Structure 1
Amino acid sequence: MQPTFVLVHGAFANSFSFAPLQAELGLLGHRSVAVDLPGHGFAATYPAAYQAPQDLEGLATAPGAIKGVTLADNVAHLIGILERAKRNGPVVLLSHSRGGLTATVTANQRPDLIDRLVYVSAWAPVDLDVGAYYAEPEMATVDAAGLAAAMVGNPVELGLLRVNFRTADPGALAFYKEAFLADGTDDEFRVFLNTFQPDENLDTGTPDDRAQADTWGRIPKTYVRLADDTSIPLAMQDRMIREGDALNPDNPYDVRTLPGSHLKWLVDPAAAARVLAELAALLPTEA
Structure 2
Amino acid sequence: MRNSPTFVLVHGAFANSFSFAPLQAELGLLGHRSVALDLPGHGFQATFPAAYQAPQDPAGLATAPGAIRGVTLADNVAHVIEVLERARRNGPVILVGHSRGGITITAVANARPDLIDRICYVSAWCPVELDVNDYYGEPEMASVDPMAFAGAVAANPAELGALRVNFRTADPEALAAFRHAFAADLTDDEFRTFLNTFQPDENLDVGTSADRAQAATWGRIPRTYIRLADDTSMPPAVQDRMIREADALTPDNPFDVHTLPGGHLRWLVHPRGAAEVLAGLAED
Q: What is the TM-score when the length of structure 1 is the normalising length? A: 0.97
Q: Which residue of structure 1 aligns with residue 30 of structure 2?
A: 28
Q: Which residue of structure 2 aligns with residue 248 of structure 1?
A: 250
Q: Which residue of structure 2 aligns with residue 285 of structure 1?
A: none
**Identity, % of aligned positions:** 76
Alignment of 1:77-96 (within 5 A): 77-96=79-98
Q: Secondary structure of 1:82's match?
A: helix
Alignment of 1:56-75 (within 5 A): 56-75=58-77
CA distance in 1, matches of 2:142, 2:151: 17
CA distance in 1, matches of 2:155, 2:255: 40
Deviations 1:225-260 (A, max 9, x none): 000000110000001100100100000000000000
Q: Which residue of structure 2 aligns with residue 4 of structure 1?
A: 6
2:107 to 92, 105, 108: 105
Q: CA deviation at 1:153?
A: 1.1
CA distance in 1, matches of 2:142, 2:152: 18
Q: Which amino acid aligns with 1:195?
A: T
Q: Secondary structure of 1:231's match?
A: coil
Q: Which residue of structure 2 aligns with residue 230 of structure 1?
A: 232
Q: CA deviation at 1:148?
A: 2.8
Q: Which amino acid aligns with 1:137?
A: P
Are the equivalent residues in 1 in contact too, given 2:119–2:222 (CA < 8 A)?
yes
Q: Which residue of structure 1 aligns with residue 165 of structure 2?
A: 163
Aligned length: 282
Q: Which residue of structure 2 aligns with residue 124 of structure 1?
A: 126
Q: CA deviation at 1:281?
A: 1.2
Are the equivalent residues in 1 in contact too, given 2:152–2:169 (CA < 8 A)?
no
Deviations 1:12-62 (A, max 9, x none): 000000000000000000000001000000000000000000001111111
CA RMSD of aligned residues (A): 0.6
Once the two structures are overlaid, the 10-residue window that deviates more, 57-66 or 32-41, is 57-66
CA distance in 1, matches of 2:215, 2:146: 32
- Unaligned stretches of 5+ residues in structure 1: 283-287
Q: CA deviation at 1:262?
A: 0.2
Q: Secondary structure of 1:177's match?
A: helix
Q: CA deviation at 1:150?
A: 2.8
CA distance in 2, matches of 1:257, 1:57: 44
CA distance in 2, matches of 1:98, 1:145: 17
Q: Which residue of structure 1 aligns with residue 51 of structure 2?
A: 49
Q: CA deviation at 1:172?
A: 1.0
Q: Secondary structure of 2:114's match?
A: helix
2:140 to 138, 141, 145: 138
CA distance in 1, matches of 2:151, 2:243: 30
Structure 2 CA distance for partners of 1:147 and 1:172, relative to 1, 3 Å: closer
1:115 to 107, 114, 117: 117
Q: Which amino acid aligns with 1:4?
A: T
CA distance in 1, matches of 2:139, 2:160: 31
CA distance in 1, matches of 2:147, 2:132: 18
Q: Which residue of structure 2 aligns with residue 150 of structure 1?
A: 152
- Unaligned stretches of 5+ residues in structure 2: none
Deviations 1:194-243 (A, max 9, x none): 00000000001111010000110010000000000001100000011001
CA distance in 2, matches of 1:182, 1:238: 21
CA distance in 1, matches of 2:97, 2:149: 22
Q: CA deviation at 1:169?
A: 1.3
CA distance in 1, matches of 2:22, 2:129: 34
Q: Secondary structure of 1:144's match?
A: coil
Q: Which residue of structure 1 aligns with residue 40 of structure 2?
A: 38
Deviations 1:114-146 (A, max 9, x none): 000000000010001001011111111012221
Q: Secondary structure of 2:253's match?
A: coil
Are the equivalent residues in 1 in contact too, given 2:149–2:178 (CA < 8 A)?
no
CA distance in 2, matches of 1:150, 1:222: 34
